[in-house]
Amino acid sequence: MSLLIGLTYDLRSDYRKLGFPEEQLAEFDADETIQALESGLQALGYRTDRIGHVRALCERLVRGDRWDLVFNICEGVSGRSREAQVPAVLEAYGIPCTFSDPLVCAVTLDKAVTKRLVKACGLRTPPFQVVERLEDLRGLKLDFPLFAKPIAEGTGKGVNSSSRIETAEGLATLCAALLARYAQPVLIEEFLPGREFTVGIVGTGPAARVLGTMEITVRDPENSGIYSFENKEKCEQLVNYAPMERGALRRRVEKLALQSYVALECRDGGRVDIRLDHRGRPSFMEVNPLAGLHPYHSDLPMIATQEGMAYTELLAAIIESARKRLPT
């Protein structure tokens, strides 16, 4: 009999009914994503069972329900370890799941912790500082222009054209606003002025491999090329996506992305964001161990498509990697 795969996810429509503001819904999935994911897994011959968010998962587990594998894309609702909640619950019950384990999911949502680990591995990332209160800005040793964003948000939340800062006064104003709005520390780093890329990766450890690389270009030059929350939400109108040209630069970008992914111990699949510094050198920005899986609008499936890999093939590669952790 084929594997029974449970699906854990956070639906935008569910949380919208609960009155969540639109920005807070940004990381959650559309109904079309879950339908495409379920249909894709069934096309691969797997049986599926929709579970839902972490609380629904807990209710099902207490009731005695079990699955051979859980395909997890839950982002979580609150806390800097929110992406680790579902993997941690499943780990407690001995049920394997796709993508990274709870430690990696917690670590990589905190951008500063991630950068410290990447830097410790000898990989390039721009100099940075964490601001927990405005007093932390005293004695700042970073060179302007700077870039500021919440330390543990995704989908461009808290990022807009004002995120690039030229002065100490502007930095203090922006940090005060971000601290008040998101109730979490602010990451400030030296601004990377060059081209931006996102690299798709599948596999785990030594078996991890690059799928391809996509360049991201914001159409409005007044946005300083910043891939902001608004640009991500309206990407069809505001952003150009294109395969990165092959050559030495692409090899360097993909090498850094793969090294970062492996060093952070990501599993099964994900994306690494890379941007060029003022000298044209690739620098690590962020990693997404729970990359979006909308078949047409999410970056990882878009990269797979540009490289000639069908959506079901991408899902098959993720499952193949995860199946290696199933009990024998």
CATH number at residue 299: 3.30.470.20
**Taking the model in full, what pTM does it have?**
0.94
Is the residue at 271 inside a domain? yes
Domain end (from 167, 190, 213): 190
At 77-114, the pLDDT tens digits run 989 999 999 999 999 999 999 999 999 999 999 999 99
257 & 275 share domain: yes
Is the residue at 232 inside a domain? yes
Q: What confidence category does residue 236 fall into, taking pLDDT thresholds of 50, 70 and 90?
A: confident
271 & 165 share domain: no
21 & 132 share domain: no
Q: Which among 138, 139, 136, 115 is positioned nearest to 127, based on CA atoms?
A: 115
So what's the pLDDT on residue 256?
Answer: 98
Is the residue at 105 inside a domain? no
Q: What is the spatial distance between Cα 14 and Cα 29, in angstroms, rounded to a whole number?
A: 10
Q: What is the CATH number of the domain that holds 77?
A: 3.40.50.20
Is the residue at 108 inside a domain? no
Pairing mode of beta strands 269-276, 196-202: antiparallel
Q: Which among 81, 193, 175, 182 is positioned nearest to 137, based on CA atoms?
A: 175
Domain end (from 163, 190, 217): 190
Q: What confidence category does residue 224 fall into, taking pLDDT thresholds of 50, 70 and 90?
A: low
Assess whether pLDDT exceeds 80 at residue 235: no
Query: Can you tell me the mean pLDDT for 22-30?
Result: 86
So what's the pLDDT on residue 45?
Answer: 98
Q: What confidence category does residue 232 fall into, taking pLDDT thresholds of 50, 70 and 90?
A: low
**The dihedral of CA 107, 32, 240, 150: what is its sign?**
negative
Assess whether pLDDT exceeds 80 at residue 209: yes
Tell me how far apart the terminal alpha carbons of the chain are, to the nearest angstrom: 15
At 261-293, the pLDDT tens digits run 999 999 999 999 999 999 999 999 999 999 999
Q: 86 phi and psi, to 5 degrees?
A: -65, -50
Cβ atoms of 205 and 225 closer than 8 Å = no
Query: Can you tell me the mean pLDDT for 164-173?
Result: 97
149 & 73 share domain: no
Cis peptide before 145 (omega within 30 of 0): yes
149 & 197 share domain: no
Is the residue at 152 inside a domain? yes
Q: Which among 143, 81, 158 is positioned nearest to 113, based on CA atoms?
A: 81
Query: Can you tell me the mean pLDDT for 145-173?
Result: 93
Query: Can you tell me the mean pLDDT for 228-244?
Result: 80
Q: What is the spatial distance between Cα 289 and Cα 293, in angstroms, rounded to a whole number?
A: 12
Q: What is the CATH number of the domain that holds 160?
A: 3.30.1490.20
Is the residue at 107 inside a domain? no
Q: What proportion of the chain, given as a percentage, has pLDDT over 90?
A: 85
Q: What is the spatial distance between Cα 87 and Cα 98, in angstroms, rounded to a whole number?
A: 9
243 & 316 share domain: yes
Q: What is the spatial distance between Cα 293 and Cα 125, in angstroms, rounded to a whole number?
A: 27
Is the residue at 48 inside a domain? yes
165 & 216 share domain: no
166 & 206 share domain: no
So what's the pLDDT on residue 167?
Answer: 97
Query: How many domains is the chain partitioned into structurally?
Result: 3
203 & 312 share domain: yes
So what's the pLDDT on residue 300?
Answer: 98
Q: Which among 239, 299, 263 is positioned nearest to 114, based on CA atoms?
A: 263
Is the residue at 200 inside a domain? yes
Q: What is the spatial distance between Cα 159 and Cα 226, in angstroms, rounded to a whole number?
A: 8
Show the domain range for 18: 4-99
85 & 36 share domain: yes
Q: Which two tokens stand for residue 132?
A: 């927990």
161 & 199 share domain: no
Domain end (from 158, 175, 190): 190
201 & 236 share domain: yes
Tell me the pLDDT of the chain averaged across its residues.
94
So what's the pLDDT on residue 66?
Answer: 98
Assess whether pLDDT exceeds 60 at residue 223: no
Estimate the share of the chain in helix, then strand, then coil, as percent rounded to the nearest 5: 40, 20, 35
